[in-house]
Chains A and B, each alone.
Chain A
Amino acid sequence: MPLASDTVREITALRVRYPQPRSAILPCLWAVQNELGYLSAEGMEEVAAILDLAPSEVQAVSTFYSMYFAQPAGDHQLLICVNVSCALRGADAIVDHVQSRLGCPSGGTTGDGKFTWESTIECLGACGGAPAMQVNHHFHENLTPDRVDGLLERLRAEPRPSHANGQSVGHVAEALTVKAPSSGPHPPSAETPPAPNAEGPPADTGVSDPAFPAPELPLGEHTEMPGSRSKRSYTKRGSRSAPRKRPRPNAGDL
């Protein structure tokens, strides 16, 4: 199915923003995923055609990043950070909780097609509010199992966000081509709050979401979240078991 003309316009606008067309692959793929909810083969081929690249190059880039979906995804996409700051602050408990609530493994989609979730996400850049997750281009920080429950309940009632959810890449592209080159490329601007008139969940401005009171616990009590360092939590995420303790190489050997 060919891409919508809006998306094609976005991709075409993005192409000229970079000296090398291949530099535009990432934002162009965002435009495709914004439209289709995932990256279809035809979508990638179309991006490749517009950027004058081989489709294989586009797919090589898309598979490198875990936040592009190769399969049609659910209405709401939950990406849970498991990188070090979030892990220290209890991301594993959040992963466990989401899994038990949604009933499908990481990377899967719930039977009703409502949710797709991923727990192989690396640092989202929201470490300040760890543990964090990204839902449809919005960050939700300082998560606790309770807050996750509330969030899931709210999302379940919401329809699939429209294309304009988050920031449309095209708007960024157009704005930047008109404006001075001083502002660097920043698609798909996950951190950017949605435009005031945009549909979608309320802006998530760090800890100040009124629906979720900020956790009162002092920081120190979060760093030793039970289970966050267990071997089980390692293997569960598809990593190999924790390496055995081995004598350190003797500097004299080198």
Chain B
Amino acid sequence: MAADTTPPAAPEDGLVGITIDGRTARVAKGTLVTDASAILGIHIPVYCAHPKMDPVAVCRMCLVHVEKMPKLQPACATPVSEGMVVSTERADVAKTREGVLEFLLLNHPLDCPVCDRGGECDLQDFAFRYGPQASRFPITEKVHFNKAVPLSDRIELDQERCILCWRCTRYYDEITGEKELVLQERGVHTLVNTFEGKPLTSAFQGNLPEICPVGALTNRKYRFKARPWDLQRTKGVCPTCSYGCNINIDSRDFEIKRFASRDNPLVDDMWLCDRGRDSGPSWNNVERIRRPVLRDATGSREVSVSEAVAAAARSLREVRERHGPSSIAVLGSAENTNEEIWLLQRLARTALETPHLDHQLEAFPDIGPEEHALGIAEIEQCAAVIVLGDEPEREAPVLTLRLFKAQTKRGVAIRRVVAQATRSLVGELPAEGLIGLIADETNREHATALAGELSRSHQVRRMTVTRGVNGRGAKDLGMLPNSGPGYTAVDQAGKAGRHILEASAAGLITGLVVMGGSVWSASVTPLLERVAAALEVLVVIDTRPGPLSRAATVLIPGHAIFEKGGTVTNMEGRVQRVRPALPPATQTPSETRILSALAAELGAAGWPGDHLLINRELVTAVPAYARAGNGGRALFEAAVRA
């Protein structure tokens, strides 16, 4: 009967139904069989397929049986269609997998014990899980290639281990567009190489070892440092810039061994820049401040942390009594967590009662949340994006990859113009759709002017690349002389960062509290030295020694960003958690506890010292942060002119 064979009509939900190994799901049209299988919890091994790249189906590892198809189909390149029935368990699939693996291992060296990838290698894992028991090809007949070819000071290529999945070449083609790696030669002689063997120059090389499914591309900075199963993995946020890429901090023996990417499609899209990736291990050998120190005319001595806090409070109180509250200033930094910033600005405003507080040197006369309206992922939804100057991409390199993706995969017009560009320089813009405008902090005024011009004809959303991992959080939470938490107005605007330092050098400010100042650029060192010489009281809470900490009258060690918990806010306002990955390099309590103790000594008892309790207080006071939660964006509705 014809009617019996007609399948029941599919529900009209815009989805398509698929059955894999007897399990069914309804997935969006265009979903690939590999993705559908992941939804169903069925493992299909893949090599060439990569979630961020277009399918090419060259490795044949993912072949599965699809009903009514004469031959096995590559799951990574087969979109689901209505009523598709897939089997990954049939004998022919298993046999094909064995065959593919036997071929992939044909010329593969027996390197696993000396291969940096061992333990996190898809070739090892799939050979173990799906491979044949033994190869039928004699080991003496392997074709050999070059081993340990340095492609740059970061990357090493073992051409023998390469399984020719094309991921690295597609990465350079689709993700960065730099096309540095290509496949050369043909057949069994095919190898991955650069033009004329020249060294790689990309700023995103560190991603290569992560996308390579085997041990062919390895990271020279991490090579032979650890076996993956010995690493302790902690979720974190890259501490190098305000883009806020999500990372995994892999540590062992109280040392950071590497930063690995952690895919957040809204932020990093799983790519890291080399500057950020290298910043982790660079902390292993730096000089750290480890003990509290009191210093006076007679010399310096190490003290307990409670003594240091008491001395700091005492000396600050003396300064206030002698010269009044506005002779004291407080400087935070863009490296502090939101919780620390919250307490620090509160310390300045309520305990010390000074209007002089800031977290960076430049003064921002008017600052409002409208300059942070554009989100990172929203770049892909714009019709056109204008980038002012090369500073934004220099400051936050992974932005380049997002712009390239928007341009090549979403058809967004990207205009890179000089920072001072006016409407006429931008040229023709699409009449419809959103216009993104990206600038860094030094070019805020240009961006404001251009946005004003453009918004007459277009809908414009701005993105400002802030500085430091938490420069945005410091602004949102009011670590500014002219704006309170959540961009609220302040009664009396104080001095901005550089003015604070200049006033200190001139003797107008006699007491200074600095938290995390070691990161300021070397160009201000002479000024800092003058400041250090002129101040009566200098309380420094910092992780690494710098011109100020060396002259501090009270010095208290701080915890590095991966040694403590808290939240940081990236340039688009995304509030992300950081967690302690290592024990602190000092035995003293974290900065938040020190600040609450200092407040108590100054007469403001009862401030929370734990970052979770502080966060609770903070989100009550700044509703945008409550709405953002963990991982969402803090969006401020109305701009309050400060």
Q: Looking at the assembled complex, report how far the CB atom of A148 sits from the nearest CB atom of chain B, in whole angstroms.
A: 27
Q: Are B95 and A60 in contact (CB under 8 A)?
A: no
CB contacts (< 8 Å) of B184 on chain A: these are 59-60, 63-64
Q: Are A63 and B185 in contact (CB under 8 A)?
A: yes
Q: Are B91 and A59 in contact (CB under 8 A)?
A: no
Q: Looking at the assembled complex, report how far the CB atom of A71 sits from the nearest CB atom of chain B, in whole angstroms.
A: 13
Q: Looking at the assembled complex, report how far the CB atom of B478 sits from the nearest CB atom of chain A, in whole angstroms.
A: 48
CB contacts (< 8 Å) of A56 on chain B: these are 179-182, 194-195
Closest to A45 in B: B195
In angstroms, Cα B141 to Cα A56, docked, is: 31
User: Within B154-210, which residues are at the interface with A (CB < 8 Å)?
Assistant: 178-186, 194-196
Q: Which of B95, B141, B182, B183 contacts A253 (CB 8 A)?
A: B95
Closest to B99 in A: A249
Q: Are A57 and B179 in contact (CB under 8 A)?
A: yes
Tell me if B92 counts as interface (CB < 8 A to partner A).
yes
CB contacts (< 8 Å) of B179 on chain A: these are 53-54, 56-57
CB contacts (< 8 Å) of A60 on chain B: these are 182-184
In angstroms, Cα B184 to Cα A56, docked, is: 9
Tell me if B136 counts as interface (CB < 8 A to partner A).
yes
Q: Looking at the assembled complex, report how far the CB atom of B547 sits from the nearest CB atom of chain A, in whole angstroms.
A: 46
Q: Looking at the assembled complex, report how far the CB atom of A70 sits from the nearest CB atom of chain B, in whole angstroms.
A: 10
CB contacts (< 8 Å) of A54 on chain B: these are 178-180, 195
Per-residue contact bits, chain A 46-75, to B (CB 8 Å; 1 contact, 0 not): 000000011111011001111000000000
Q: Which of B136, B143, B180 contacts A246 (CB 8 A)?
A: B136
CB contacts (< 8 Å) of A254 on chain B: these are 91-92, 95
CB contacts (< 8 Å) of A41 on chain B: these are 195-196
Q: Are A253 and B195 in contact (CB under 8 A)?
A: no
Q: Which of A55, A64, A66 contacts B195 (CB 8 A)?
A: A55
In angstroms, Cα B182 to Cα A63, docked, is: 11
CB contacts (< 8 Å) of A57 on chain B: these are 179, 182
Per-residue contact bits, chain B 193-237, to A (CB 8 Å; 1 contact, 0 not): 011100000000000000000000000000000000000000000
Q: Are A241 and B141 in contact (CB under 8 A)?
A: yes
CB contacts (< 8 Å) of B181 on chain A: these are 56
Tell me if A240 counts as interface (CB < 8 A to partner B).
yes
CB contacts (< 8 Å) of B92 on chain A: these are 254
In angstroms, Cα B173 to Cα A53, docked, is: 11
CB contacts (< 8 Å) of B194 on chain A: these are 56
Per-residue contact bits, chain B 134-153, to A (CB 8 Å; 1 contact, 0 not): 00100001010000000000
Closest to A240 in B: B141
Q: Looking at the assembled complex, report how far the CB atom of B168 sits from the nearest CB atom of chain A, in whole angstroms.
A: 12
Q: Looking at the assembled complex, report how far the CB atom of A220 sits from the nearest CB atom of chain B, in whole angstroms.
A: 33
In angstroms, Cα B196 to Cα A241, docked, is: 31
CB contacts (< 8 Å) of A64 on chain B: these are 184-186
Q: Looking at the assembled complex, report how far the CB atom of B182 sits from the nearest CB atom of chain A, in whole angstroms.
A: 4
In angstroms, Cα B170 to Cα A57, docked, is: 12
Q: Looking at the assembled complex, report how far the CB atom of B358 sits from the nearest CB atom of chain A, in whole angstroms.
A: 46
Per-residue contact bits, chain A 212-254, to B (CB 8 Å; 1 contact, 0 not): 0000000000000000000000000000110000100100011
* Known interface pairs A253-B91, A254-B91, A254-B95; A59-B195 also in contact (CB < 8 Å): yes
In angstroms, Cα B172 to Cα A54, docked, is: 11
Q: Looking at the assembled complex, report how far the CB atom of B213 sits from the nearest CB atom of chain A, in whole angstroms.
A: 21
Q: Looking at the assembled complex, report how far the CB atom of A224 sits from the nearest CB atom of chain B, in whole angstroms.
A: 28
Q: Looking at the assembled complex, report how far the CB atom of A61 sits from the nearest CB atom of chain B, in whole angstroms.
A: 9
Q: Are A59 and B196 in contact (CB under 8 A)?
A: yes
**Given contact pairs A41-B196, A45-B195, A64-B185, a sample of 19 additional A-B residue pairs in the complex whose CB atoms are under 8 Å apart:** A44-B195, A54-B178, A54-B179, A54-B180, A54-B195, A56-B181, A57-B182, A59-B196, A60-B182, A60-B184, A64-B184, A64-B186, A65-B186, A240-B141, A240-B143, A246-B136, A253-B91, A253-B95, A254-B92
The 8 closest A-B CB pairs, nearest first, are A54-B179, A60-B182, A56-B195, A63-B184, A55-B195, A56-B182, A254-B92, A64-B186
